[in-house]
Amino acid sequence: MIQRIFLMVLCSLSFLYAAAQEEFPVPAGNARQLFYLQRTSNTNTIVYELNYKKGKLDESNPVHVFWIRYAEQGQRAELSWIQRVFAYGVKVKEMPDSSYRVRLTSYAGYTMFLKKGADKNYRLYAPINGKIMLLNRIFVKITGGSMWSPDIEYFEVSGIDPVTGKPVAERKKVLKSEIKE
């Protein structure tokens, strides 16, 4: 009986958590979008998209990052220098196989890869549950702290299994030793 009640409470809490995340808007209509990042602090969303110049991927800067300010008027806005350099920007390194290693400037512990597929389209891959998946969202659970040093309970990565097409997700802890490169 106690186990049954515990399971009901656990399922209810999981449902409430999922419902809270579902209230966040989902950026749509951007064919260049790779993934987006959201945080518990508000619905403003950071979008990571392919950066093209004259119809070709800008090899020196292949990922462009910007805000969608849903908490204001839903307008698009560029990141400030501080946001780009210390928080939400990316560090990109071209690899010998012509793919790109991509890391958030604030957390070197999670590596993503931008790769061109057989169909000539670029996609962002990242580890989810120990396998390389197509990344489409990162959600960061912030429990306090400050702008310069937030207390992060976890971050959740969500995507699609490229083999099965099924959604996948994993919660990860931030390791202090992996915050900066």
> Where do the structural domains in the chain lie, given as residue ranges?
30-178
Residues 6+ apart with CB under 8 A from 177: 109
Q: Quick one: average pLDDT of 113-131?
A: 95
Q: By C-alpha distance, which of 92, 161, 172, 93 is closest to 132? A: 161
Share of the chain above pLDDT 70, in %: 84
Share of the chain above pLDDT 90, in %: 70
Is the model's pLDDT at 94 over the cut of 50?
yes
Q: Backbone phi, then psi, for 176, in 5-degree steps?
A: -55, -35
Over residues 49-81, the pLDDT tens digits come to 999 999 999 999 999 999 999 999 999 999 999
- Tell whether the torsion through CA atoms of 125, 131, 137 and 141 is positive or negative: negative
Over residues 123-176, the pLDDT tens digits come to 999 999 999 999 999 999 999 888 778 888 999 999 999 999 999 999 998 876
| β-strand pairing of 33-39 with 131-145 | parallel
